[in-house]
Structures are given as structure tokens and as C-alpha cells.
Amino acid sequence: MRQKKAQIQLKNVRQTYEEIAGEFSASRMALRHDFENYQKYFKNGQKIVDLGCGNGRLLMLLKEKIKDFDYTGIDNSQSLLKEARKIFPEATFTHGDQLEIPLPAESCDVLANIRAFHHIPSKKLQLQALEEMKRVLKPEGLLILTCWNLWNKKQLKFITEAGVKSILNFGQSSYKDTQIPWGTGKTKRYYYAFTYHQLKKLVQKSGFHIIESKKGQDFIIIAQKNVSERPKILGVPFDNVNKKEALNTVFKKLDTNKEQLFIATPNPEILLAARKNEPFQKVLNQTDLNIPDGFGIMLASWLNRTPLKERVTGTDFLQAICNKAPQGTKIFLLGAAPGVAEKTKEVLEKRYPNVKIAGTFAGSPSQEEDVNIRKLIDQSEAKILFVAFGAPKQEMWIARNLAHLKHIKVVMGVGGAFDFISGTIKRAPYWMRRIGVEWLYRLIKQPSRIGRIFNATIKFPIVFLGSKFKKRT
């Protein structure tokens, strides 16, 4: 289903449940047969989230199974939540949505999504919902997901009707976008007709490890949030996160009292340098978050069969942090040529009034200047530090100094980001960055970079493929 139509369909689903809430609640007080398939995964002491809780019927069964647990029910129908509060006045129920769960990251042990996920149209929105579920689950947390199995004689006519409609609207919807009558038949509810294998594949693609799955009247999937080793390219680990997930990591660290976050944005050129510089490679293996900055990195991850979710450049991620930072967040800009950090400060504060650039300094990555630079940063009381000395100097500087900085919670090496943001160097058009040919624009504008561009576009693929060949032999 196309995205505009999918959003309309989501709105219709919410409206339908508002209209039928009372009648629906009265007919939905039992999940006992279904519950038997996954009740063993609920344990005492767990924080349990019931996403798409309806009238809270799962809570009744949980109370029979376990005694000591923390329950939160979430639904996007205010009317159903009203019914739930009548039945379970002591429980916690919150208005929310599968696409934007109103809970902090890593806050629950088990997330149950019982017969609600099939109301989400389009693969894009389904993946978005699964990403949200993964976000709120603790490491190795469990997802219990059930959807109706519509591939039976009784429901097949609705799939057929949806198929005819798909042909008539020239593919704006799919044969899986079904409308099934409720009650007397006057009201219809939207269901996405997942196949068993399609649902499993979707869950796995979202970064879950399937522990158990069953196919019957319902499709039932028990999956665990993956906490796997970081995939490596030429000996450098990468974190398989998209921009949103990386930002969540940043702001979670900002709220801590002790922990610091060291972010690097390795690109093909950095990986080649690290192969010949053992201390540099060691630092890149000890960072907290390595984000892929380079089209070549994405291709290499795909060839390694560990595809990374998204390329995020240092320049883009710096600005994303500023955009989402809490009001009054203090930031220090270190590095680049004299005067560039000051220009960058002007641009950032104008573009993102929520942040305060508390200090700038061109400085030097020389160890002789470390103490003086640390004093400047400490005096600024900045929480975030961006270092633009260029690789590997910036990463080596951060590794030496981060533990000695009193207030810094997040630090990132950003290479030439200050030059781009300040306008000192013009960035390639968005479409060129999008398709991975930013190097061509920079070659035209800065012919002197031909050696570095050769390394990134020619040497890196040769070295990478050579390393794969050596492993096979």
C-alpha cells in the first residue's frame, strides 16, 4: 500500500475501534487458548508492556500466571482504554501507538503485541513499528507477537476482494490489504494478510532472533532482541543502527552521571589508514559507537552478509544531534582551521536555537597542548564535544583525553564537518550524496584530493575484496 493511503488507513483503524469499543470489549474477555502458547515466557519480576492492549484482557491471564510483575497497557483508542480502566482500575494504561511507543529506550523485559500488528498497513510502517518495539525492549528482551492467520477458507473471500480492488485502483493497495466485517457487518476492520514466512522474515529483518514460532489459527512469534557482536570490515567494528537509534544512544548517555560516549564515523579512507596504524585500529575497536560514513562501507557490509542499516555522515549526525538536543545543551567545537569553528558556531546557534555553543578553539592535536585544551573545555561546562582534527589525529586525541574531561558526556570525531557547515567548503548536492557519488563532486571542486579519492573508490574495494579472498583460501 502506498504511504499516503497507508496513513489514511491507520486513521480509519483508530476510528473504527473508537466506534465499536464497548461492544468489542464485551466480546473480548478471553485469550486463554491463545495464551497457552506463550504463557511460559512471562516470569515474576518482569516489566511487561501490552502493546495494543484493548480492554486489558491479557492482564487478567497474567494475574493468574504470575504475581510479581510491572504491567503497562498501551492502546491508541481512548475508548478502549476507558473500558480497560473500568475492568482493571489499579493497572497502568497509557494512550500510545505502535509506531511511537510512549516509553523510554530499553525499559521493558517483555513486549506483548497480541493481534494488533496486523492492523498496520505497508511494509515501511510495519518495520517502523518493529523498530519501536526493539527500542523499548531491554537487551535480550522478548517480543511476543501474534497475528491472525487469514489464509483459510473462511477469510479467503476477503483476500480475493482485496485483490480485485488492487487491480481496479492500479496497485495503490495490495491483495493483502483486507477489510473484514465486524459484528453485524456494518463496520469493517482493516487487516494486513501476512503469510507465515513473510511475518517471520519481517521480524528477523528488524534485528530480532526468533526463538519459537507457530502456525495455526494465529501466527505466533516469540523473538529476542539481538545483542550480537559488532560486524567488522577490515578489522574495524560497526554498529548496525540507523540515525534514530544512534540519536537515542547519544541522549541516553547525556542523562547519565558517569558514563561517556565516544563516537567515530569510519569511512573507507579511515579503514585503510587503520590497517597500517595499529594504535589507530585499536582505538577504533574501543569506541562506543561506530557509524558508517561512506557508500563503500555500506557495500562492503552487504558483501559480508552483515548489511548495515543506514549510512550516516559525520556532518549529518552532528547536525542531527544539535537538532534534537534538549534546550540549553552546551557544546564545544574543537579543531579545523583558525576561524572556521567560530563560523560554525554562528551557523549552528542560528539554525538550532536549542543549543548553546559554549566554546570554540582551533587548537592542535599535539600532546603538548592537551592540558590547555582540556582546561578550556572544562571551563565551558559543555556536555557535547565535536573534534575536527581529521582522522586519525582526532580519534587519537579523544582516546587520550576523554577520561580527563570533567563535564563531557558525548564526543565525536567529525573530520571536515565544520568546513561544510560553516560554508568554507561547499557540499555536494543532496542527490549526489544520496547515490554515493559525492566523491565525484569533491574531485571536480578540489582536484588536489585525487589521492584520497583514489584510496576511497579504487584502493578500498581492492583491499576489501582481497581480504575476503584470503579468508576463503
Domain of residue 171 covers: 3-225
Mean pLDDT score across all residues of the chain: 91
In this structure, are 411 and 268 located in the same domain?
yes
Reported confidence tier of residue 1, pLDDT bands at 50, 70, 90:
low
**What would the pLDDT profile of 396-412 be if each residue is shown by its tens digit?**
999 999 999 999 999 99
Quick check: is 304 in a domain? Answer: yes
Closest among 454, 446, 444, 436 to 272, alpha carbons compared: 454
In this structure, are 247 and 332 located in the same domain?
yes
DSSP calls for 420-463: HHHTSSPPPPHHHHHTT-HHHHHHHH-GGGHHHHHIIIIIHHHH
Reported confidence tier of residue 415, pLDDT bands at 50, 70, 90:
very high
- Distance from C-alpha of 256 to C-alpha of 93, rounded to nearest angstrom: 28
In this structure, are 239 and 385 located in the same domain?
yes
Residue 44 belongs to domain with CATH number: 3.40.50.150
Quick check: is 473 in a domain? Answer: no
In this structure, are 117 and 192 located in the same domain?
yes
**What would the pLDDT profile of 146-158 be if each residue is shown by its tens digit?**
999 999 999 999 9
- Distance from C-alpha of 308 to C-alpha of 237, rounded to nearest angstrom: 11
In this structure, are 236 and 304 located in the same domain?
yes
Q: What domain count does the chain have?
A: 2
In this structure, are 217 and 340 located in the same domain?
no
In this structure, are 157 and 260 located in the same domain?
no
**What would the pLDDT profile of 426-456 be if each residue is shown by its tens digit?**
887 888 877 777 777 777 877 887 877 787 7
Helices and strands, counts by H and E, the chain: 20, 17
**What would the pLDDT profile of 297-312 be if each residue is shown by its tens digit?**
999 999 988 889 999 9
What mean pLDDT is predicted for residues 351-376?
97
Higher pLDDT, 324 or 172: 324
In this structure, are 319 and 411 located in the same domain?
yes
pLDDT the model gives residue 377: 98
Give me 339's grid cell.
576561524
pLDDT the model gives residue 7: 86
pLDDT the model gives residue 2: 67
Quick check: is 139 in a domain? Answer: yes
What mean pLDDT is predicted for residues 196-208?
92
Residue 393 belongs to domain with CATH number: 3.40.50.2300
φ, ψ at 248 (rounded to 5°): -60, -40
Quick check: is 387 in a domain? Answer: yes
In this structure, are 178 and 295 located in the same domain?
no
Quick check: is 450 in a domain? Answer: no
The residue among 175, 191, 225 that closes a domain is 225
pLDDT the model gives residue 29: 57
Q: Whole-model pTM above 0.85?
A: no
pLDDT the model gives residue 28: 61
Cis amide prior to 392 (ω within 30 degrees): yes
Quick check: is 457 in a domain? Answer: no
Quick check: is 458 in a domain? Answer: no
In this structure, are 238 and 366 located in the same domain?
yes
Query: CA dihedral defined by 388, 416, 289, 126, rounded to 10 degrees?
Result: 150
**What would the pLDDT profile of 103-118 be if each residue is shown by its tens digit?**
998 899 999 999 999 9
**What would the pLDDT profile of 313-332 be if each residue is shown by its tens digit?**
999 999 999 999 999 999 99
In this structure, are 208 and 143 located in the same domain?
yes
In this structure, are 260 and 303 located in the same domain?
yes
